Structure formats: C-alpha cells, structure tokens
Amino acid sequence: EQRGTLERADGGTLFLDEIGDLPALLQVKLLRVLQERQYERVGESNARTTDARIIAATNVELPVALRQGRLREDLYYRLCVVPIEVPPLRQRREDISPLASYLLGRATAQHGLIRRLSPQAMRLLLEYHWPGNVRELANVMEYAVAVSKIETILPEDLPEDIRNPSLNLRTPVAKSHPGFESA
C-alpha cells in the first residue's frame, strides 16, 4: 500500500515550496486540505483526513499573483495565517558563513570528500550579492566540491561570477512577498 505525502505527514509538518506556482486545479485541492483537513488518494473516492501542519514558501509576490488571477483569493487568505518573513541572503550576511559551512559539509558527505573553505574564498562568498539566495549558495558549494583538487577550496574553485561579480552572469530573482520567500 503506497502512502502519499499528505498521509506520511499526518501528525507532523508538510513543507510546500513554490506555492505561488501551483496550477489552479491543485489550488482547489490544497484549499480543501487546508480548510477541511481532507484529501483523496489517487484512484480513490473516499475522503481521508490529515492532521498535518502546512508550511508554504514562494518567491512569487502573492498579492500580485492574486490581482492577476493566478492565485485564488480564498487560498491566499488561508495561507496567510502566520506569515514569516525571511529576508534575502544578501540582507543577512551573518548567515552566509554558517550556511556555507553546512552546505559544504552536505556536498562533501555526498561525495565522501573532505573540503574546507579558505579565508579568501569565504571573503568572496560574504561579498557576493546572492540573487539566488540559499539555493544559489548550495549550488556554489556543489560546484566548488566538484572542481576543487585539494582539501581547501580556493577562490579559483568558485564560479567566475562569484570571483568577479561585475560580470553579472546570474540574473537576479524577483523580490519575494514578505512571509513567503524561499530561504
């Protein structure tokens, strides 16, 4: 018997990322789960209940999506019960070093390697503007692990736009709605 995501999250927390990109049909189904705590398994017609707490994130400005008709008004208000604002990474520089260390550890563990950031590489990470936020930082750590030849990640092991931000190779992401920004 296959248990779906909602069923597995029963009694716990379900994180829904990029909720602002949810198609209209799925918005209706999510609204039912949020309002009635009910859902149906694929291929079944009997309703099941869940006691999962739902946390949603997006980089879409939800009030704009609402005005454009891309987001249901009732879903918007159901999601906005306790909004949590997570500022972009460029506005919380103190988080870059611990996040980089954590993400580097995760990337090295996947490959069975040992890597650490040189002070010069960390300085470049701290100076960068991070338009892609934590996801971009995670990708940069993956890249550095993939290209580094020694245990210490040097500036030359980082992507070119991190080493030379004036190149502006990465396109900045749209500003997120407070409370729904992806971290």
**Amino acid (1-letter code) at residue 52:** A
**Amino acid (1-letter code) at residue 66:** L
Q: What is the dihedral of CA 111, 114, 120, 125, to 10 degrees?
A: 40
Q: What is the pLDDT of residues 15-44, one digit of tens each?
A: 999 998 999 999 998 999 999 998 888 888
Provide the H-helix boundaries in 13-67.
24-36, 62-67
Query: How do beta strands 38-40 and 47-49 pair?
Result: antiparallel
Alpha carbon distance 55, 179 (integer Å): 11
Q: Considering only CA atoms, which of 3, 75, 15, 70 is closest in space to residue 39?
A: 3
pTM of the full predicted structure? Answer: 0.69
CA 58 to chain centre: 8
Q: What is the pLDDT of residues 102-139, one digit of tens each?
A: 999 999 998 899 999 999 999 999 999 999 899 999 99
Least confident range from 24-28, 55-59, 90-94, 175-179: namely: 175-179
**Amino acid (1-letter code) at residue 59:** N
Q: What is the pLDDT of residues 114-124, one digit of tens each?
A: 999 999 999 99
- How open is the CA angle 156-158-164, to the nearest 5 degrees? 80
- pLDDT at residue 123, as a whole number: 96
**In percent, how much of the chain has pLDDT > 90?**
62
pLDDT of 172 strictly over 50: no
DSSP label at 135? H
pLDDT band per the 50, 70, 90 thresholds, residue 169 = low
- pLDDT at residue 168, as a whole number: 60
pLDDT of 180 strictly over 50: no
Q: Report phi then psi at 153, rounded to 5.
A: -80, 120
Across the range 52-78, mean pLDDT stands at: 91
